[in-house]
């Protein structure tokens, strides 16, 4: 006999999958939002090794 | 045992819903973390971008929740013995211990790294230390060994406003240390009052609560002593840069009532307490919640008045 469509197990799995999906979507939105805020504020976005030596001297 | 679909009920019991995973994070504790951390951010000097503040408080809360999940992983044996904690996802069999551990570790890492990237690494280091302190120092090491467990555990719960302050300023200062002390010294009287009317639960689990090891009389004396030490700290905050007349007035009234409540508890004997089903103890416990909430609310009020220039600053 096949699985009933509306079994409790399916309901819980759907809830979990939706929950994880929403969390991942939220996480992407947070990273995007942080990037926008920091870029607009003019924060240094490059990692240290990507800054040219002259700029490193200035930073000191 | 199977139903007509051929799915065993044992398998279904292992199928956790999304809410079970959320319950691992101790949402009620998280709400206190969110509130106190948010106040820490808002009362600190220096503006914080609203989105940065939101993300920071979110990850402080997730870090707190992660330590709750790790606590449930380690304490699942004693949680199963206590009425208050028996229905938690791990002892109830809805979430496996290993899953709780994996979620706790993963969320701890994500929360610390994200807080560091969103705000600064002072705040992230404080959050990492808070998780370490709550899980390793309190849960794994001292909770089952000393009747002062609540005092130690209270320190972990006291860090969020300090982390919030660090989000805004990138540093630790007198004000943030006093906010830490406010929650740290408030926790023992708050929790011991709960123990006075939930004693049997802790006895059954074999957790050395003060009520079990030293008796209720000593616990009542301890509650009173802590309210006395707490009062000058709470009122002292009023004389720092985040205090003011509004906060001082609130703190004076709240601390007077808290000390009076503690005196009332100390004067009661067990016969009288059992006679009225621990009414005074339950009232003191409820008031302790209002006490903390009102202090932080008054600080928010002060911050709002400072910002509007009402105090002439």
Interface confidence, given as ipTM, is 0.82
How near does any CA of chain A get to the CA of B240, in Å?
31
Position B180 pLDDT exceeds 50: yes
B8: closest chain A residue by CA:
A9
Which residues, other chains included, contact B219 with Cβ-Cβ below 8 Å and sequence gap of 6+? B192, B195, B196, B210, B211
Q: Between chains, do A33 and B6 touch, taking CB under 8 Å as contact?
A: no
pLDDT above 90 as % of chain B: 76
Q: How confident is the model at residue B305 (pLDDT cuts 50, 70, 90)?
A: very high
Residue A18 included in any domain: no
pLDDT above 70 as % of chain A: 67
pLDDT of residue B4: 45
Q: How far apart are CA B22 and CA B17, in angstroms?
A: 9
Domain count, chain A: 1
For A35, the domain range is 26-60
- Tokens 């319950």 -> residue: B23
pLDDT digits (tens, 9 = 90+) for A15-54: 899 999 999 999 999 999 999 999 998 877 666 666 666 6
> B226 or A46: whose pLDDT is higher?
B226
pLDDT of residue B9: 47
**Whether B167 contacts B53, CB under 8 Å:** yes
| Two structure tokens written together for B262 | 């503690």
Residue A5 included in any domain: no
φ and ψ at residue B2, rounded to 5 degrees = -130, 155
Residues of chain B contacting A37 with CB distance shorter than 8 Å? 49, 51-52
Position B193 pLDDT exceeds 90: yes
Pick the CATH number of B17-172 from 3.40.50.300, 3.40.50.1370, 1.20.1050.140, 1.10.357.140: 1.10.357.140
**Whether B80 contacts B111, CB under 8 Å:** no
- Which alpha helices (DSSP H) does A1-60 contain, by range? 8-41, 53-59
Mutate which of B2, B3, B5 to disrupt the A interface (most A C-beta within 10 Å)? B5
pLDDT of residue A56: 65
- Which alpha helices (DSSP H) does chain B contain, by range? 9-13, 18-23, 27-43, 50-74, 76-79, 97-118, 121-132, 149-169, 174-205, 210-213, 215-236, 245-267, 270-275, 279-308
* Nearest alpha carbon to residue B163 among B60, B233, B54: B60
Position B303 pLDDT exceeds 50: yes
Mean pLDDT (whole number) for B224-234: 98
> Which segment, B10-19, B75-84, B178-187, B301-310, is predicted with the most confidence on average?
B178-187
**Would you call A23 an interface residue with chain B, using a CB distance cutoff of 8 Å?**
no
* Nearest alpha carbon to residue B296 among B13, B41, B10: B41
Q: A with B: how many residue pairs have Cβ under 8 Å apart? A: 48
* Nearest alpha carbon to residue B251 among B286, B301, B285: B301
Residues of chain B contacting A4 with CB distance shorter than 8 Å? 4-5
Position A60 pLDDT exceeds 70: no
φ and ψ at residue B8, rounded to 5 degrees = -75, 150
DSSP letter assigned to residue B135: I
pLDDT of residue B251: 98
Q: How far apart are CA B74 and CA B83, in angstroms?
A: 18
- Tokens 């019991």 -> residue: B13
Out of B3-7, B81-85, B188-192, B224-228, least confident range: B3-7
Residue A46 included in any domain: yes
Q: How many CB atoms lie within 10 A of CB B175?
A: 22
| Two structure tokens written together for B37 | 């951390």
Mean pLDDT (whole number) for B30-55: 95
The chain B residues in contact with chain A (CB within 8 A) are 4-7, 11-12, 15-19, 21-22, 49, 51-52, 55, 58, 114, 117-118
Residue A6 included in any domain: no
């Amino acid at each position: 006999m096949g699985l009933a469509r509306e079994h409790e197990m399916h309901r819980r799995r759907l809830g979990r999958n939706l929950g994880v999906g929403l969390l991942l979507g939220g996480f992407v939105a947070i990273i995007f939002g942080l990037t926008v805020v920091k870029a607009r504020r003019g924060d240094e976005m490059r990692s240290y090794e990507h800054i040219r030596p002259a700029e490193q001297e200035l930073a000191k | 045992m199977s139903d007509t679909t051929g799915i065993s009920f044992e398998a279904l019991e292992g199928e956790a819903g999304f809410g079970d995973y959320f319950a691992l994070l101790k949402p009620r504790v998280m709400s206190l973390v969110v509130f106190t951390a948010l106040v820490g951010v808002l009362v600190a000097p220096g503006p914080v971008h609203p989105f940065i503040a939101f993300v920071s408080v979110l990850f402080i809360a997730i870090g707190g929740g992660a330590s709750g999940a790790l606590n449930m992983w380690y304490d699942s044996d004693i949680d199963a013995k206590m009425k208050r904690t028996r229905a938690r996802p791990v002892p109830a069999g809805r979430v496996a211990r290993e899953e709780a551990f994996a979620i706790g570790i993963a969320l701890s890492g994500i929360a610390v790294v994200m807080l560091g990237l969103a705000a600064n690494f002072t705040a992230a280091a404080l959050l990492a230390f808070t998780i370490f302190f709550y899980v390793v120092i309190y849960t794994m090491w001292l909770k089952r060994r000393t009747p002062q467990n609540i005092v130690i555990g209270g320190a972990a719960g006291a860090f969020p406003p300090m982390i919030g302050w660090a989000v805004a300023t990138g540093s630790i200062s007198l004000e943030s240390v006093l906010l830490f002390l406010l929650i740290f010294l408030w926790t023992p009287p708050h929790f011991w009052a709960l123990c006075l009317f939930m004693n049997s639960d802790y006895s059954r689990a074999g957790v050395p609560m003060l009520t079990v090891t030293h008796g209720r009389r000593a616990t009542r004396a301890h509650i009173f002593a802590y309210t006395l030490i707490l009062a000058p700290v709470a009122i002292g905050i009023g004389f720092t840069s985040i205090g003011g007349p509004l906060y001082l007035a609130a703190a004076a009234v709240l601390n007077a009532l808290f000390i009076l409540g503690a005196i009332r508890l100390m004067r009661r004997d067990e016969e009288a307490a059992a006679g009225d089903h621990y009414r005074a103890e339950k009232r003191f416990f409820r008031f302790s919640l209002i006490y903390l909430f009102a202090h932080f609310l008054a600080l928010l009020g002060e911050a709002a008045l400072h910002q509007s220039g009402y105090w002439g600053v």
